[in-house]
Structure 1
Amino acid sequence: MVAGSVLQAARDAMRLADVDPARAIPAAAVVARHARSGGDAPAEALAEQAWGHALAQCGQVDEAVAHLRRAVRLGVGEAAAESRMKLAFALVHRGRAAAALREVDLAVGVLGARARAQRAVILYHLGRRDEALADYRSAERALRRGTDRLALQRVLMNRGVLQAERHNFATATRDLLEADRLARELGRDLVVGIIAENLGFVESQRGDVPAALAHLDRAEEIIGRHGGQLAPVLRDRAELLLSVGLVGEAFEHASKAVAAFRRDGRRLSVAEARLLLADIALHAEDWAAAGRHARAALAQFGRQDRQHHAALAKAVVLRAAVNAGRPCRLTDPDLDAMVTALRGRPSALVQAHLDLARLAVRRRQTARAGAHLAAAGRARSSGPATLRARGWYAEALLLERADPRRAAAAARRGLRILDEHHAALGAGDLRAHSARHRADLASLGLRTALTGGRPADVFEWAERGRASRLRHHEVRPPDDPELAALLPQLRSTVAELDRARLANLPAAKLEHRQVELERRIRNRSRLLRGSAGGVLDPVRASELDLGDRVLVQFIELDGALLALTLTDGRLDLRPVAPVREVADLLARVPFALRHLAKRPRPEIGALLRTTAGELDELLLPRCDRPLVVVPTGVLHDVPWSTLPSCRGKPVVVSPSATLWHAAATRPPRERTFAVASGPGLPGAEEEAQAVADLHRVPNPRDATVDDVLKALATATTVHLAAHGRLNPDNPLFSALSLHDGPLVVYDVQRLDQVPETVVMAACDVGRSVVVSGNELLGLAATFLDRGASQLIASVVPVPDAATKDLMIAVHRRLRSGLPAARALAEAQEELDQPNGFVCVGA
């Protein structure tokens, strides 16, 4: 190369480092070698700068520092100052804050606004947010007077993130959208992806989960395509998933982010991601792990001289200690300094005040506790929904002893904010898991009601604690062509996989494709918004028309189980037992039922009778009347017909009294029947044909998912004889096996209408996965959510052969007009055989 062409090649490598750093690295290396061999110091300095800048963008920070230091030594004037700016960026990501500030301050004297903008970035990473914002504003004013659009784009992009953290969402979005426009005009495609990630962060902070996920998906695609760093996207997605209670998925993404940051040598980000792991451990109630991760992050922040981030770590250390009931080793001056440092992080500050209030109560510092609660309570007036709800929780705690009625009103306000916010989520798993935000408010209201001693108030708060069971209308995600196209692909893949396994053929590729399709379906569904009409106040006990029924509602609080019984308008409250004692008894029941179904043995029968008798004595009132049972926690999977006092008695199980009331008062539709069966169960076809003959309806051979969905959308009573599977790890992929593959929860969610009565003669599909707020996920729960009035299904595995006679006996009674619960109870008594079938709904 001639001298002029080497310098031009170095300039080209510098431009490429901004738009495609992965390609810039080898290009800059070639130019640097040519410049060095030709003794062209200016060209070599620029090539080394491009090389170091590209390496830093691709996460190879240690190598980047070496090349940028060489660029500084070789350069003069503005060229050296440009290299210092990029060196400062690399140094701050190695955790060398003081050295980074020295380099950038030297650059400010030469480059002015552009270097000041870089100093703002460094101050931001050090947690000095007010200083950073001042530098951003100063740099922006100067840059708008000039023509350096690239520098202006960088200022706007970085300032947008800072504004989002301060909850200035409109300003943040405005900055980022202008930065996006400039990046597109400048051809900076990788930066467009980084801005998409930042927009996802803004929406995450605002609480708009579908919008945040959409931005992060776009960011991952663009950044990945251009060889950029995906670790920040993993971290942001982990924080977002954690915000809606998806702890397991958040941990998976955060762990990958930690590994990627470590691999890229980004020590500042490693410490931040370690702190995120601590926060995830808090949500998982693993106080020891939370404290361990937070202390490790705190030590790293201390070495990096990042006082703001150290305050965040101290807040997690405090919270872990308070929740674990351990002494907090932080001194009062430490804690005061922590609060001061958190003032730019509203959510962290409010939680810190709440934790400090609990610590003060433990230390009997009443006035100090009140001051912290009052400070936290100020958040109730503005900000994202979850922040305002925490503010109302603080207000309720402040009023709990002095004015219980106002405390309860404050808790109601907080719950309504959360419920209205979460109703916009279209994905069932997001709605269900996000109910964890309600737990503290619901528990406080319940405690207040129990202290007041009025059973009607306890009933109200027991209902309020049942989360999204109080919606005006069922939530239905909108029609989405991409989701509609993915579901048949999943079905055909699973069907092909089943055939391969039966033939002992290699199945690894099909298994991988199934996992990938499930991931895409789950992620796509989370982008959709719900169509709920709002939140309904819970039904009052006095509004329930039970007829001759008795309602038993169970409540769990602080490890104890209580029961409310409503009989002829009279409410009684009684303690039941510790939850652990009841859970230990319940664990024996499915064990006994499984063994009795396979091979009846006297000792197993005796175990079942003894256990059922003990549970009956603990759980149910002595009466001969039909029951409506509203369970909680472990009680959702009780096979009630095995309890002695339920023998031959109609028992309806409902997730909430409000849901039961809505279903019981819904006008009935003209009764029509449909039947379908699935493959792989020897008795299923015979059972389905017998039921179809009873109702004089067709029994379609080789029923497909589309056949069954059509029946579900048109008939009022549908019988499904198919193998069922509850997926505890991914409940929305719980399935019924049909001839062309599985019918999953996502299929049911897309229906405009579901039957009034659904009978599922399948193993285990009456069970649901129970998550925070007594939220349920699974096929049975989804049918009820979509508007089914009652559902008959088993909560324990049942042999195929054992269901035929029971189902025929049930359908004879349904055909004669009996309600589903009575039909099931009489059929179970007629056959005199213990089983796990229950009637859920109304």
Structure 2
Amino acid sequence: MNSGTALAVAEEALRLADKAAGRAGPTCAAAVRRARHDGDADALSIAERAWGRSLLQCGDVAAAAVHLRRSIAAAERPELAGESRIPLAAALLQQGRPGPALREIDLAVRDLDGAGRARARAQRADMLHQLGRLSEAHAEYQAAVPLLRRTGDLLNLQRTLVNRGILHTERHSFGAAEADLTAADQLAHKLGRQLAAGIIAENLGFLETLRGDVPAALAHLDRAEQAIGAEGGQLGPVFMDRGELLLAVGSASEAQEAAERAVHAFERERRGLLLPGARVLLAQAALLARDWPTALTQAQRARRQFLRQQRGEWAELARLIVVRSSMALGRPVSRRGLRDMVTALVRSGWPAAALEARLAAALVLGDGELLGEAASARRRGPAGLRARGWYAEALLRERAGDARGSSRALRRGLRVLDEHSMSLGATDLRAYSAVHRVELTELGLRTALRDGRVPQVFEWAERSRRLLHQPVLPPDDPVLADLLAQLRSVVRNARHAQRQVGLERRIRDHVRLHRGGDFHVVEPISLRELDLGASALIEYVQLDGQLLGIGVVDGVSRLVPLGSVADVFGLVERLPFALHRLARRSSSGAQSLLTDAASRLDKLLLEPFHVDDRPLVVVPTGPLHDLPWSVLPGRVGRPVTVSPSATLWQSTRFDNRPGVAVVAGPGLSGARDEALAVAKLYGVDPWLDSAATVDRVLGLLRSCGVAHLAAHGRLALDNPLFSSLRLHDGPLVVHDLERTRQVPHTVVLASCDIGRSLVCTGDELLGLSATFLSRGTATLIASVVPIPDLETAPLMTAFHRGLLAGLPAPAALAAAQSSLAGGSPRDLAAAAGFVCLGGKSV
């Protein structure tokens, strides 16, 4: 037989290995025999590569490496050897040999060009990704994808888009992830790769679990939109009104969405007069969200359009946003014309615009008179305007060297905002409104840091964390009760997804109509008043891109700079990825990533404070709220309590109510057995199967002191008030808890990811765990790591034994986690994510 026949058989084996790896073995073996019989070196190299690739995809890594090495040895041309080095590198990495793996892939990149080099770079990106070198991986993906598109290599393009989509998902770049995974899904179907399509669907599910759904609008504007739309009217102005309202309550992202919809509507309807106004709203929303480049770009576009329309005051309003964005970006601002801008906006009759113009011009020009004029707004008007007036007053006092007067002014501004916040009945609106506090607290922190006095820095760190407020939803609201019951019914039926979205919107809008009740503003605790006993405390704060820690150990307080916020938070993001991989399969790469990131975080976050083996209280900031502290070497087997603020930690009170409730929900592996085991420890009957309904569980929560809930949990990041626990008749959501007058002093949520909260600007927290704490739960045990459907029975039974033996909850959790040190990677991953949230333990 001629060499062409042997080569054709080998290439067919390679195609089958990629399309149906499980069935390719006999074909690959036949191709190897044919190539050897004919003495065709090229065919032999390709056939051995096909055999190695099929084995690799089927999980037989060691055998795959043997055949791939044979393929390289048989190759007489560098490009054939390079093609085989690509899968060999993957096999070596799976074997836990990253050094040789990277050397092989570097050789492949060197030996190949065109489509081959594109494939090699794609493989190198995936390897770097698996090794946790995420920035390098991202850069390689960015280079490989265009190369694969240019060469028409659809198969490897599909694979690479999947891998890049996973990386985007892990980094919470959800739009980019969805685009990659959707494109990969289309290619997979085009190529007839059903297995790949199934994997893509799995990763799309992971993406949606992390992303959630953004609320659209308030109830009356939603009704307006429906009515106008039903008549075929123009919806742009409705979107503008919605955006203005959302901007006022601090919901920057929702305001931005409304503004963008208005821009598109006006463009589609060719309503040129209204278009630049929508761009100003979009720029203002970006400014509130601290998206300075977007604010600058949109404001510049709006200003040009206003000038063409000869609308001078509107042009000056757009110019004001240009000035503020440029200042935030550290760009030079021309002093020319600033006073004219102020004059025009004062003349316009827009008080907020006039105040902001005076503030911006005063800072650029160093003009105390303009600051004084801005400060006059503190005496009257809406809360937001008065708070900005107090901010101007604080700047004026600081300029005069009156540090105490500046601090008093900042405190007055915060009180105005807090009082206004408590007039809002909806938890999410109160949380979003915290964005207006940020500049006030940052100025206070900056002043305290400049003076170098730790007690003052601690005070402003605490003021930057507004205390969790008690929700005010009336428990006897029949409309809300009916809507929640409808939601549970709809969620049970997967075919009604669209109706579920509509019901969630109606619930959000209904709740947002409630007004707040009685309130009082809680003053933060001082360092002098802090009573830690034998515990140590570290409170973390971020300012101007830097992370700082305030440590209190044995009554001695220290302020320690800890480095770049981006660097620290980048390390934190690696831990869930590593634990997720360990939970799904044992992986030395994932273990190495976990060990490295945890060790580095330990050195950065803990070592400077010399906490040693003392019980530790942690007050986190930003992504540190999601850190599984038990994986840090310095905290292994040692108690940690995570609290939103030191004030909340110290003010927490146990009510010592008796009674234990144990509940198991559906759809969570091992939940039933876990509930039986925990209930047996306490000598109570668990609530299982059809008995575990939402109403029954809410009744139990009102009457018991300790609750153990083993149920599937869901954190809806973009829609946190619909974070839920799955029970027999549907989800128990945040709104259900907010209608409950009493909750247990100790709650255990034995489910994935539900300990996490959405961290809003100003370290405001939204989610189930935050709601339990705000309702009065003193100790909450929950996971902050998204590892789906893990069995947690070993950890939970060990934890409850510790409680029954008299250990405080943080010590009981630490001991339980430590007891699993010799267990499987799956058990370790399940245990590592759990933290103790709340206040002082008894």
The two structures have a TM-score, normalised by structure 2, of: 0.69
Q: Relative to structure 2, which stretch is displaced further, 244-253 or 473-482? A: 473-482
Native 8 Å contact 1:560 1:578 kept in 2: yes
| CA positional deviation for 1:553 | 0.8
CA distance in 2, matches of 1:714, 1:346: 51
Native 8 Å contact 1:592 1:604 kept in 2: yes
Spell out, residue by residue over 1:473-492, the C-alpha distance to the aligned partner (whole angstroms, 9 max, x if none).
55555642222111111111
CA distance in 2, matches of 1:823, 1:337: 62
Letter in 2 for 1:481: P
* 1:769 and 2:723 are equivalent in the alignment: no
Counterpart in the other structure of 1:167: none
Instruction: Tell me the SS of whatever aligns to 1:417.
Output: helix
Counterpart in the other structure of 1:690: 677
Native 8 Å contact 1:552 1:565 kept in 2: yes
Native 8 Å contact 2:372 2:393 kept in 1: yes
**Closer, same or farther in 2 for the Cα pair 1:616/1:475, shift >3 Å?**
farther
Pairing 1:342-491 to 2, within 5 Å after superposition: 342-343=346-347, 344-360=349-365, 366=366, 368=367, 370-401=368-399, 402-469=401-468, 471=469, 475-476=472-473, 479-491=476-488
Letter in 2 for 1:336: D
| CA positional deviation for 1:587 | 2.0
CA distance in 2, matches of 1:395, 1:609: 49
Instruction: Tell me the SS of whatever aligns to 1:426.
Output: coil
| CA positional deviation for 1:739 | 1.6
* 1:332 and 2:318 are equivalent in the alignment: no
| CA positional deviation for 1:262 | 4.1
Letter in 2 for 1:276: L
| CA positional deviation for 1:353 | 1.5
| CA positional deviation for 1:244 | 2.0
Native 8 Å contact 1:792 1:839 kept in 2: yes
Pairing 1:508-527 to 2, within 5 Å after superposition: 510-527=496-513
Instruction: Tell me the SS of whatever aligns to 1:543.
Output: coil
Native 8 Å contact 1:550 1:565 kept in 2: yes
Counterpart in the other structure of 1:597: 583
Pairing 1:633-672 to 2, within 5 Å after superposition: 633-663=622-652, 666-672=653-659
Spell out, residue by residue over 1:699-743, the C-alpha distance to the aligned partner (whole angstroms, 9 max, x if none).
122211112111112111111111111111111111111121111
Instruction: Tell me the SS of whatever aligns to 2:425.
Output: coil
Spell out, residue by residue over 1:806-832, the C-alpha distance to the aligned partner (whole angstroms, 9 max, x if none).
001111122333221111111111121
Counterpart in the other structure of 2:492: 495
Native 8 Å contact 1:308 1:342 kept in 2: no
Pairing 1:224-235 to 2, within 5 Å after superposition: 229-235=234-240
Letter in 2 for 1:684: A
Spell out, residue by residue over 1:87-128, the C-alpha distance to the aligned partner (whole angstroms, 9 max, x if none).
xxxxxxxxxxxxxxxxxxxxxxxxxxxxxxxxxxxxxxxxxx
| CA positional deviation for 1:218 | 6.1
Letter in 2 for 1:513: R
Q: Relative to structure 2, which stretch is displaced further, 440-449 or 605-614? A: 605-614
Native 8 Å contact 1:724 1:737 kept in 2: yes
Pairing 1:282-301 to 2, within 5 Å after superposition: 282-301=287-306
| CA positional deviation for 1:408 | 0.7
Pairing 1:56-95 to 2, within 5 Å after superposition: none
| CA positional deviation for 1:334 | 5.8
CA distance in 2, matches of 1:638, 1:752: 31
Instruction: Tell me the SS of whatever aligns to 2:625.
Output: helix
* 1:554 and 2:540 are equivalent in the alignment: yes
CA distance in 2, matches of 1:303, 1:327: 25
Instruction: Tell me the SS of whatever aligns to 2:492.
Output: helix
Unaligned runs of 5+ in 1: 1-211, 361-365, 498-506
CA distance in 2, matches of 1:747, 1:438: 29
Counterpart in the other structure of 1:722: 711
**Closer, same or farther in 2 for the Cα pair 1:468/1:547, shift >3 Å?**
closer
CA distance in 1, matches of 2:660, 2:235: 52
Counterpart in the other structure of 1:565: 551
Native 8 Å contact 1:554 1:564 kept in 2: yes
Spell out, residue by residue over 1:11-69, the C-alpha distance to the aligned partner (whole angstroms, 9 max, x if none).
xxxxxxxxxxxxxxxxxxxxxxxxxxxxxxxxxxxxxxxxxxxxxxxxxxxxxxxxxxx
CA distance in 2, matches of 1:474, 1:815: 32
Counterpart in the other structure of 2:322: 317
Counterpart in the other structure of 1:837: 834
CA distance in 1, matches of 2:600, 2:427: 36
Decide which of 504, 507, 514 is 1:528's aligned counterpart.
Answer: 514
Pairing 1:245-324 to 2, within 5 Å after superposition: 245-324=250-329
Letter in 1 for 2:571: L
Letter in 2 for 1:583: F
CA distance in 1, matches of 2:834, 2:583: 13
Pairing 1:703-718 to 2, within 5 Å after superposition: 703-718=692-707
| Pairs aligned (count) | 608
**Closer, same or farther in 2 for the Cα pair 1:529/1:773, shift >3 Å?**
same
Counterpart in the other structure of 1:681: 668
Larger Rg: 1
CA distance in 2, matches of 1:736, 1:215: 30
Q: Relative to structure 2, which stretch is displaced further, 768-777 or 280-289? A: 280-289
**Closer, same or farther in 2 for the Cα pair 1:388/1:770, shift >3 Å?**
same
Q: Relative to structure 2, which stretch is displaced further, 562-571 or 427-436? A: 562-571
Instruction: Tell me the SS of whatever aligns to 1:720.
Output: strand
Letter in 1 for 2:660: F
Spell out, residue by residue over 1:783-826, the C-alpha distance to the aligned partner (whole angstroms, 9 max, x if none).
11111101001111345454111001111122333221111111
CA distance in 1, matches of 2:341, 2:446: 33
Spell out, residue by residue over 1:345-396, the C-alpha distance to the aligned partner (whole angstroms, 9 max, x if none).
1101111122222322xxxxx3x2x222222111111110100000110111
Native 8 Å contact 1:689 1:699 kept in 2: yes
**Closer, same or farther in 2 for the Cα pair 1:216/1:355, shift >3 Å?**
same
Instruction: Tell me the SS of whatever aligns to 1:411.
Output: helix
Decide which of 756, 761, 782 is 1:793's aligned counterpart.
Answer: 782
Native 8 Å contact 1:271 1:300 kept in 2: yes
CA distance in 1, matches of 2:693, 2:774: 23
Spell out, residue by residue over 1:756-799, the C-alpha distance to the aligned partner (whole angstroms, 9 max, x if none).
11101101011111111100111111111111101001111345
Unaligned runs of 5+ in 2: 1-216, 822-827
CA distance in 2, matches of 1:647, 1:596: 18
Instruction: Tell me the SS of whatever aligns to 1:542.
Output: coil
| CA positional deviation for 1:676 | 0.9
Counterpart in the other structure of 1:176: none
Letter in 2 for 1:836: G
Native 8 Å contact 1:476 1:786 kept in 2: no
Native 8 Å contact 1:312 1:342 kept in 2: no
Spell out, residue by residue over 1:120-140, the C-alpha distance to the aligned partner (whole angstroms, 9 max, x if none).
xxxxxxxxxxxxxxxxxxxxx
Native 8 Å contact 1:723 1:763 kept in 2: yes
Counterpart in the other structure of 2:209: none
Pairing 1:610-649 to 2, within 5 Å after superposition: 610-620=596-606, 621-622=609-610, 623-649=612-638
Letter in 2 for 1:374: G
Instruction: Tell me the SS of whatever aligns to 1:776.
Output: strand
Instruction: Tell me the SS of whatever aligns to 1:541.
Output: coil
CA distance in 1, matches of 2:438, 2:742: 31
Q: Relative to structure 2, which stretch is displaced further, 300-309 or 676-685? A: 300-309
Letter in 1 for 2:481: A
CA distance in 2, matches of 1:825, 1:446: 34
CA distance in 1, matches of 2:314, 2:488: 47
CA distance in 2, matches of 1:223, 1:682: 48
Instruction: Tell me the SS of whatever aligns to 2:523.
Output: coil
CA distance in 2, matches of 1:298, 1:378: 28
**Closer, same or farther in 2 for the Cα pair 1:581/1:255, shift >3 Å?**
closer
| CA positional deviation for 1:263 | 4.5
Letter in 2 for 1:732: L
Letter in 2 for 1:466: R
